[in-house]
Amino acid sequence: MPELPEVQTIATDLAEALTGTVIEKAILNFPKIVATDPEAFESFLVGTRIEGVDRLGKFIHFHLNNDRHLLTHLKMTGRFSLGEWPLDGIWPKHAHIAFRLQDRAPPLDTLFYCDTRKFGRLRAFHGNDLAAYVQKIFLGPDPLLIDAKDFHDRITAKRGRLKAVLLNQSVVSGLGNIYADESLFAAGFHPARSAASLSRTETAHLLIHIQKLLRDAIARRGSTTSTYEGLKGGGSFQNQHRVYGRSGQNCLVCHQPLARAIIAGRGTSYCPTCQRL
């Protein structure tokens, strides 16, 4: 499941592969994957040039010319791949959109959006509409850019358990299940602790661990799991996980068994000894 480091890796790779490229043609194989008007989607894109690709929380943001924007959320299983324009209705498995790239030769003349579970969504916007959409969903600041005071104010303003608050994209945008569990372990906080109870010192400590974890994970091109695949293959940060996917195994610090709970509706791995309420 792509989270901030995986989405960052994909966006960086897309930017390198596609900046300056014109979208010659686009076809939808599964219209529901487009959350804005699917009828208008293809003509919106035809002839536009990709001027850059970056990340907005867990969204991938394609900057197009003429103040047009394409926002993609990969959710659980979305991915991009390069391939050959589908002839005779033959598409790669789980490919839902094809973007034909100008001045590229087969078999790499097409960008595909693929998504096994079809949870992901693409949205096409003109500039002002993009800003309005980001406001509408209350997308919070990036955890890599936020300062300690703003982080403290946002975390402690929410009632609820700390893990649930970290996963709330309107508090900070980009953390998912893996990096929430890993950062709580690294910082020594119990996932069920009340978010509002953290002191200034504690939120500062937590933020330092979140940022270090995200930077290390980006440096390793993210975590490869059963469902994440980047444009150029997976990352290697899964080898650094200390709690995610390890419940029942022993804590690498205190050697007691890691526990599992459901918090915020998500499977949660933590060390009951090292992470105190």
Q: Which residues are tagged catalytic?
A: 2-3, 58, 266
Instruction: Report the residue from 17, 22, 76, 134 that binds DNA according to the rule CB under 7 A.
Output: 76
Minimum CB separation of residue 58 from DNA in Å reads 4
Q: Which is nearer to DNA, 34 or 164 (CB)?
A: 164
> Rule CB under 7 A: is residue 167 a binding residue for DNA?
yes
Minimum CB separation of residue 160 from DNA in Å reads 2
SS3 per-residue string spanning the chain? CCCHHHHHHHHHHHHHHHCCCEEEEEEECCHHHECCCHHHHHHHHCCCEEEEEEEECCEEEEEECCCEEEEEECCCCEEEEEECCCCCCCCCCCEEEEEEECCCCCCCCEEEEEECCCCCEEEEEEHHHHHHHHHHCCCCCCCCCCCHHHHHHHHHCCCCEHHHHHHCCCCCCCCCHHHHHHHHHHHCECCCCEHHHCCHHHHHHHHHHHHHHHHHHHHCCCCCCCCCCCCCCCCCHHHHCCCCCCCCCECCCCCCECEEEEECCEEEEECCCCCEC
Instruction: Report the residue from 161, 190, 221, 241 that binds DNA according to the rule CB under 7 A.
Output: 161
Q: Which is nearer to DNA, 32 or 126 (CB)?
A: 32
> Rule CB under 7 A: is residue 1 a binding residue for DNA?
yes
> Rule CB under 7 A: is residue 205 a binding residue for DNA?
no
Taking CB under 7 A as the criterion, which residues in 87-116 touch DNA? 94, 116
Instruction: Report the residue from 159, 200, 232, 276 that binds DNA according to the rule CB under 7 A.
Output: 159
Q: Which is nearer to DNA, 100 or 121 (CB)?
A: 121
Q: Which is nearer to DNA, 108 or 157 (CB)?
A: 157
Could you list the residues that contact DNA (CB under 7 A)? 1, 3, 32, 57-58, 73, 75-76, 94, 116-119, 137, 159-161, 164, 167, 169, 176-178, 226, 264-267
